[in-house]
Amino acid sequence: MKNTAEKIYTLDDLKQVIQNWQQTGKQVVFTNGCFDIVHLGHIDYLEKARQKGDKLVVGLNSDSSVKTLKGESRPVIPEYARARMLAALEFVDAVVLFDENTPKSLIEALKPDILTKGNDYTVENIVGADFVLAQGGKVETLPLVDGFSTSQIIEKIKQFM
């Protein structure tokens, strides 16, 4: 079994790894997110995403990206710790950090076969969907577990303070 840190890649290294997987007929699934406080909703979603193909790649928002998207108090957990936690999941094959607000350029560089997001999105508003579809890939929305979101968990914790 791989050391979890070995599943965290630079973009250049991951491009080569994905090419190798695809050349051997593996279907590569890509998803992305902040994954700030990992909870059941994340686990369930990532497990379902992995079932859509042979390899699961997670694009992880960097600390600066999370701060831009979620506000100055986020992320709660720093990027390296978030990356290691995701990499520790057996159904996650690779983790790559990105600094941009959206994973558009990351998706275009990695060229996954399948792109997934939660069903709080529609295919029309999933960043990178047009690119993946134009490449002959698939875009799928997956059901989310009700009642689990990092923002809700943070609000609940604040009630106890």
- Grouping H, G, I as helix, E, B as strand and the rest as coil, residue 40 is helix
- Looking at residue 148, its pLDDT comes to 76
139: enclosing H helix or E strand = strand 138-142
Q: Which residues, at least 6 apart from 65, have a Cβ–Cβ distance to it below 8 Å?
A: 34, 98, 99, 100, 101
56 neighbors 31 (Cβ within 8 angstroms): yes
- Running along the chain, 161 residues long, what does each successive block of 10 average in pLDDT? 86 98 98 93 96 98 93 91 97 97 97 95 94 98 84 81 79
**Nearest Cα to Cα of residue 41 among 161, 150, 139:** 150
- Looking at residue 13, its pLDDT comes to 97
Bridge partners (DSSP) listed for residue 60: 33, 97
Which pTM value belongs to this model? 0.93
Q: Where are the domains of the chain?
A: 4-159
- Looking at residue 2, its pLDDT comes to 65
**Nearest Cα to Cα of residue 100 among 125, 127, 80, 74:** 127
- Looking at residue 79, its pLDDT comes to 97
Tell me the CATH number for domain 4-159: 3.40.50.620
